[in-house]
A and B are shown apart, each in its own frame.
Chain A
Amino acid sequence: MVFLSLPLLVRARGPDEFWRKRRIFKLAAHYRSRTRNVYSFAIRSVHRALAYATKGRKLKKLDMAQLWSTRVEAGCQQYGVGLETFKEGLARSDILLNKKTLSDLAIWEPRSFEALVRISRERAAVEGLPDIKRRSAFNQVYGLSNLKLD
């Protein structure tokens, strides 16, 4: 008498061994050494690789954000403005470009980027952000430099 009940199914190991292993070997096909041919090694490295790939998708986004920051910082340091001041100046001028776009502009549209830096620097100087050493032309026009207000 054959029991096709639940306790037996629990012991069943799923699909045929060959197919189960082939799935892993396909993923390990480009590995070197015994990780390619020996199942016990292959499954270890495949699992590790899949876990890395899952984590890597998040890390990629973080890395890109860091890269854009670096690029924008390099771009605005050409004109003697720090990254934080640049971003603050832009935000206070209601210019809401993100880091990705700014780094694109810094690379491919240097003159547009220079204009943005100038806008930001002027705003920063007018509002008296501490990073800006040069006095604002705006304030000079208004005679603030003679008044020794700051």
Chain B
Amino acid sequence: MSFLAQTVRQVLRQVPNRSSALAGAMRSLSISPAFKQQNKPAAESVDISAIAKDHQKEGLEICERINRQVAKSEQGRLFAVVHLCGKQFKVTPGDIVLVEGYWPPTTGDEISLDKVLLAGARDFTLVGRPILEPGLVVVKATVVEKTLSHTKTHFRKKRRKQYMRINFQRSPHTMIRINSIELARPVDGKSEAQESPKRLF
């Protein structure tokens, strides 16, 4: 053990600046799980507010640029990642999305997909944590068709055991067409979520 310590000390003497690198190496040898090992919090002497202000300013500037582009409608075609019926789909206007399984909306229904996880255009991306504010990106869709899938044969057989089962199943399929994806209001970095009375959740 003392030999090990000596070696470590020696190495430290040789590379005084790299002690942090060595510490990193020691950390990887540690028994406690990697994700528990975190850096310690910041020292109090650092002026956090000034840095925060800088960050805020930068963020606002980016929002401003996005807003300007959207105002001039130069952003091009938007895409969005929506959460629908337990799955995530990357959609863009004109797409047809196939929803498998039981899903209540009927043919001809106009719906808006509210759980937008991510939206983007040519020059910017809005990332939701985990979803974007309600009403920021409006994804409109129409239910085009409700059908059943092709017949799937569920067949099991065990050899020499007189065991054979065959079942047939068809699951409901719903096709929806994405009509439009729009930025409903300017991106401003602040959350001003207005609770509309229609929302249930």
Contacts and interface: CB of A to CB of B under 8 A. Distances in A.
A141 B46 CA distance: 9
Contact of B155 (A54, A88, A141): A54
A20 to B, nearest CB: 13
A-B pairs, top 10 by smallest CB distance, nearest first, are A50-B155, A94-B129, A96-B130, A142-B42, A112-B125, A128-B39, A130-B34, A149-B40, A101-B88, A128-B38
A59 B19 CA distance: 49
A111 B125 contact: yes
A132 B178 CA distance: 40
Given A51-B157, A57-B152, A100-B88, A148 B28 contact: no
Contacts, number: 102
Contacts of B117: 95-97, 101
Nearest to A114: B125
Interface of A: 47, 50-51, 53-54, 57, 88, 93-98, 100-101, 104-105, 108-109, 111-112, 115-116, 119, 126-130, 133, 135-136, 139, 141-145, 147-150
Given A96-B117, A104-B90, A47 B155 contact: yes
Interface residues of B, number: 40
Contact of B43 (A50, A128, A129, A142): A142
A130 B37 contact: yes
B104 to A, nearest CB: 23
B11 to A, nearest CB: 15
B90 to A, nearest CB: 5
Nearest to B152: A57
